[in-house]
Amino acid sequence: MIYTDMTKKAISLMYEAHRGQMDKGGFPYCFHPFHVAESMEDEISCTCALLHDVVEDTDYTLQDLAEMGFPEEVTDVLKLLTHQDGVPYMDYVKNLSVSPVARRVKLSDLRHNSDLSRLSHVTEEDLQRIEKYREAIAFLESVNES
């Protein structure tokens, strides 16, 4: 984890935004973005990792984040990481792959979400979701290698 004024602000916002939310394993949701952020190596990536689900899963908007002082370099990546309704999943993944920061964050996100050991009971739906994630990981890793 990288601790700067911006990442500390992102940690506080992430914690507040996801307050009361639980992940599929029954843990407080805030642990997921924190885990994703721990694998980042710079301030921008770390901030984006901490906030990667805020716009998609809460009432906060990109405009709210901009008004809070998060730079365009962060909000541009968060826009890519926010899966819009009606956009097929792999189209969303291909669209975000244009940004090295978005790719790094999404790969870490997908790897953490693919860890079935976090779940008490694995369902067929979980297995199908993991297969979709494997396809996305393979695509993003191929872009990284290009």
Tokens, residue 49? 């990792």
- 79-133, pLDDT tens digit by residue? 999 999 999 999 999 999 999 999 999 999 999 999 999 888 999 999 999 999 9
Q: How many angstroms separate the most distant Cα atoms in the chain?
A: 42
- Residue 117's Cα: distance from chain center in Å? 19
Write out the DSSP string of 49-90.
Answer: HHHTTHHHHSS--HHHHHHTT--HHHHHHHHHHS--TTS-HH
Global pTM value: 0.95
Domain 5-145, CATH among 1.10.3210.10, 1.10.10.60, 1.10.940.10, 1.10.20.140: 1.10.3210.10
Residue ranges of domains in the chain? 5-145
Model pLDDT for residues 29-65, shown as the tens digit of each residue: 999 999 999 999 999 999 999 999 999 999 999 999 9
